[in-house]
Structure 1
């Protein structure tokens, strides 16, 4: 996915955080390569693109938050995290 696509999803229209967004994207791609044997970062499926965007958004939106024993305290954020983990698991099992 391109930086432009990620920034559209994140609703970021400035360049200040470009390097941070790219770093987060690269980390998500690394994790997906580890978890999804058939994952091709050059040709992600539509579901994988949504996973990438969602996971980068999670990292970006909470980059300054404090964690409590590795968990963000917001209930809505936890629901998003579980949904992302569920999709990742499905991709892993599908591979």
Structure 2
């Protein structure tokens, strides 16, 4: 049975031996830069709306329905079925 073991190798000659990285500096790089970038992107997206005076408050009101390409007066403008076999006026589900 073969067991994996860590490699025991020395640093090659001519390579530098870097100093240890400060954990706070590491966290600043790993967390700080993405957070700063996200804030900049958010500001770039929101600023034009704020300049125009738009409000960004959440509202519980449901938005109005919009039917693209449909009649302007709503479903009242749809044709009614002419007879029992007509397919006009909506879906005809059968069980």
- Please report the TM-score for the alignment, with normalisation by the length of structure 2: 0.25
Given the two structures, how large is their TM-score scaled by the length of structure 1? Answer: 0.25
Q: Which has the higher contact order (CA 8 A, sep 6+)?
A: 1
